Amino acid sequence: MAQIPRLFIRTALHEGAEITLDRDHAHYLFGVMRRGLGDPVELFNGQDGAWRATVSEAGKRGGVLTAEEQVAPQRMPPDLWLLFAPIKKARTDFIVEKAAEMGAARICPVQTDFTNAERIRQDRLQAHAVEAAEQCGGTYVPEVTDLVPLSRMLDDWPAGRRLLFCDEALAGEVRDLPAERGPWAILIGPEGGFSDAERARLRGMDGAHAISLGPRILRADTAAVAAMTLWQSALGDWT
């Protein structure tokens, strides 16, 4: 059974909609995936659910798909942001991919006192989020924001958004998530942990909540998946 390719596109989807493929999508569908006229493709745009479409024109540098039928309703993720401190390139890519799979609504790279990265390739990370959404069967792609200092983000912190942070100093202590629905963010520290100043500020914040992720030190990408699992299974769309 050949898998039906899934593509995220940026145009409206409705019955009979004709979607003009850009060069990258045409290369992927016809070159990499070897699809041709009449073959099925699944499309989503983050708003109109998932649609079955078929290839109505195929060329080396372009093509056209025609949308036929909605096959899944639009499903928005819970209002959860994932804040993380970018680390080595491969791990950063993994964190973005995993945040998209796990159903983050927004992915925010932040500079902490112990973050190495001075800049990120936002476009590349956004492309990873798109690819993960295509792969995981979702109908939504989280926005990847530009790198900003954590301190500035906390200065402008939105009223009412709770913040879950993973505090290695708590190892072994049990802390349950408060049963508070609504907007949340998860903050994953860099490999060197938070600075004392950052930890003090986080602990003093209204609506901030520290949890432990067990007695072993988790790499940042592992910690991101673990923290999102706890949140999704207690407060998110896994329940």
Which contacts of 22-26 are long-range, i.e. CB under 8 A and separated by 24 or more positions?
22/62, 23/61, 23/62, 25/63, 26/58, 26/59, 26/60, 26/61, 26/62, 26/63
Q: How far is Cα 161 from Cα 155, in angstroms, rounded to an integer?
A: 13
Asked if 146 touches its own copies (CB under 8 A), the answer is no
Q: How many CA atoms lie within 13 A of 42 on its CB side?
A: 18
Closest CB 177 distance from its own copies, rounded Å: 10
Asked if 215 touches its own copies (CB under 8 A), the answer is yes
Asked if 130 touches its own copies (CB under 8 A), the answer is no
Asked if 238 touches its own copies (CB under 8 A), the answer is yes
Which of 137, 158, 178, 182 binds its own copies (CB under 8 A)? It is 137
Q: How far is Cα 200 from Cα 206, in angstroms, rounded to an integer?
A: 12
Asked if 189 touches its own copies (CB under 8 A), the answer is no
Closest CB 216 distance from its own copies, rounded Å: 4
Q: Is 151 exposed, middle or buried (0-12, 13-18, 19+ CB in 10 A)?
A: middle
Which of 136, 148, 154, 208 binds its own copies (CB under 8 A)? It is 136
Q: How far is Cα 83 from Cα 18, in angstroms, rounded to an integer?
A: 37
Asked if 2 touches its own copies (CB under 8 A), the answer is no
Asked if 169 touches its own copies (CB under 8 A), the answer is no
Which of 46, 86, 103, 207 binds its own copies (CB under 8 A)? It is 103
Type of residue at 163 = L
What is the binding site for its own copies (CB under 8 A)? 75, 94, 97-98, 101-103, 135-138, 174, 212-219, 222, 225-226, 229-230, 232-233, 236-239
